[in-house]
């Protein structure tokens, strides 16, 4: 038995090796490494798949967020409401651009940004809401869009962890990243659709924003050596696009396998005392980028993690420190739910390649630990 991994990138490569190798070799033979035809082909394929007018490839998911906020041209100091229980990229980008992240609470069982908290955080300086579709499912976009319309705010969806999940509630429906003004995603290797390095993309239904985003990602130029706006070098590599094109036809299969893994965890762990299985937002489908438990206490989380580690089972804490308590982005706000989650969450291995025997071992080890440590 090979070792258990959080995500098994090698096994995935072996599964699709012939298609991936063929695509990569074709790029090397053609030599069109920058903006080769595979980039536009991937953009078209994603646009079709997710029913969005424009997809713009870029260098990574963090740049996608930076480009999104550059395109919106918000006044300096504008407030952007975003959850504190999240990855650092959004906070970092907002601060770099002279904008102010306003950190708010998440729902304690779905981990998604809390609607009431967004409402309470709106001030005359608020210009945007940036929900993060964390761990594989979407925040309540219907209500978020309604709030945004009422207050004339932009919505930028960070869908780095949830590309492919679908919102369907009260007449509002759409894929992650396609409901707000701009959606951003990441093709970081461990993402549900991952490349072999860095990669990202931006989604929008708005033609004018799309045209600006395309320029921003390529040094502010539409025509070579004619720089109309200050941009970035944030292009998606042709090689990465070619790898993504080989994997994209299998993405639905990946999502189904992840759901099957989550279902097995749910069935086996739902009645265990002292841990809670993750809950679904009824308004969204789930692509299970992460499978995250909530332990009864910080002590239990730490001891369970150590026990799993001693049995050669990896687990991760997403995220150990909330954004409002990070040195770089610190804010004096009281977010007890977020603090509590950071102390008690534990993510288990989940990926399409996770073998059933490995999952059985993970489940058995958790059950065994919970029983013996009563």
Ligand X SMILES: Cc1ncc(COP(=O)(O)O)c(C=O)c1O
- The correct pick among 50, 69, 85, 87 for binding ligand X (CB under 6 A) is 87
C-alpha span between 69 and 186 (Å, rounded): 16
CA–chain centroid gap for 89, Å, is 10
Task: Determine contact, residues 372/141, Cβ cutoff 8 Å.
Answer: no
Rounded to a whole number of angstroms, the minimum distance from the CB of residue 86 to ligand X is: 6
Binding mask 118-147 for ligand X (x = CB under 6 A): --------------x---------------
Question: Could you tell me which residues come within 8 angstroms of residue 197 by beta carbon, excluding any fewer than 6 positions away?
Answer: 189, 237, 240
If one asks whether residue 158 binds ligand X (CB under 6 A), the answer comes out as: yes
- The correct pick among 188, 203, 288, 369 for binding ligand X (CB under 6 A) is 188
C-alpha span between 141 and 229 (Å, rounded): 32
If one asks whether residue 290 binds ligand X (CB under 6 A), the answer comes out as: no
If one asks whether residue 323 binds ligand X (CB under 6 A), the answer comes out as: no
The tally of CA atoms less than 13 A away on the side-chain side of residue 129 is: 32
If one asks whether residue 186 binds ligand X (CB under 6 A), the answer comes out as: yes
For residue 141 the two structure tokens come to 């976009």
Binding mask 18-57 for ligand X (x = CB under 6 A): ----------------------------------------
Between residues 186 and 347, which has the closer beta carbon with respect to ligand X?
186
Binding mask 159-178 for ligand X (x = CB under 6 A): -xx-----------------
If one asks whether residue 80 binds ligand X (CB under 6 A), the answer comes out as: no
Between residues 132 and 366, which has the closer beta carbon with respect to ligand X?
132
Task: Determine contact, residues 291/350, Cβ cutoff 8 Å.
Answer: yes
If one asks whether residue 157 binds ligand X (CB under 6 A), the answer comes out as: no
Between residues 70 and 366, which has the closer beta carbon with respect to ligand X?
70
**Segment interacting with ligand X (CB under 6 A) among 12-20, 82-90, 169-177, 209-217:** 82-90
**Count of residues interacting with ligand X (CB under 6 A):** 14
Between residues 185 and 359, which has the closer beta carbon with respect to ligand X?
185
Q: Which residue is nearest to ligand X (CB)?
A: 61
Rounded to a whole number of angstroms, the minimum distance from the CB of residue 190 to ligand X is: 8
C-alpha span between 133 and 310 (Å, rounded): 32
The residues binding ligand X (CB under 6 A) are 60-62, 86-87, 89, 132, 158, 160-161, 186, 188, 198, 200
């Amino acid at each position: 038995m090979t070792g258990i991994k959080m995500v098994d990138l090698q096994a995935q490569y072996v599964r699709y090796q012939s298609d991936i190798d063929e695509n990569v070799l074709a790029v090397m033979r053609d030599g069109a490494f920058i903006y080769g035809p595979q980039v536009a082909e991937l953009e078209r394929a994603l646009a079709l798949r997710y029913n969005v007018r424009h997809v713009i490839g870029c260098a990574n998911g963090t740049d996608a967020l930076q480009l999104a906020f550059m395109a919106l041209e918000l006044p300096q100091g504008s407030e952007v409401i975003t959850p504190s229980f999240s990855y650092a990229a959004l906070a970092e980008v907002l601060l770099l651009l002279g904008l102010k992240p306003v950190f708010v609470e998440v729902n304690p069982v779905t981990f998604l940004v809390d609607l009431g908290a967004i409402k309470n955080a709106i001030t005359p300086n608020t210009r945007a809401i940036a929900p993060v579709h964390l761990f594989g499912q979407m925040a309540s976009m219907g209500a978020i869009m309604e709030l945004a319309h009422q207050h004339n705010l932009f919505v930028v969806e960070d869908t780095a962890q949830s590309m492919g999940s679908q919102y369907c509630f009260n007449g509002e429906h759409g894929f992650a990243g396609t409901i707000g003004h701009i959606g951003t995603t990441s093709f970081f290797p461990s993402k549900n659709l991952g490349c072999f390095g860095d990669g990202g993309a931006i989604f929008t239904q708005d033609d004018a924003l799309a045209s600006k985003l395309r320029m921003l990602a390529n040094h502010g130029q539409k025509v070579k050596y004619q720089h109309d706006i200050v941009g970035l070098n944030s292009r998606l590599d042709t090689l990465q696009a070619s790898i993504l094109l080989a994997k994209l036809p299998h993405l639905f299969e990946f999502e189904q396998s992840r759901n099957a893994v989550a279902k097995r965890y749910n069935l086996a762990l739902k009645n265990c005392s002292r841990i809670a299985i993750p809950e679904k937002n009824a308004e969204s489908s789930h692509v299970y980028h992460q499978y995250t438990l909530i332990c009864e206490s910080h002590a239990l989380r730490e001891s369970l993690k150590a026990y799993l580690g001693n049995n050669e089972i990896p687990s991760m804490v997403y995220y150990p420190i909330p954004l409002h308590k990070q040195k770089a982005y610190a804010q004096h706000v009281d977010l007890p739910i977020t603090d509590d989650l950071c102390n008690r969450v534990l993510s288990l291995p989940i990926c399409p390649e996770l073998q059933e025997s490995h999952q059985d071992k993970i489940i058995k080890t958790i059950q065994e630990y919970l029983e013996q440590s009563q």
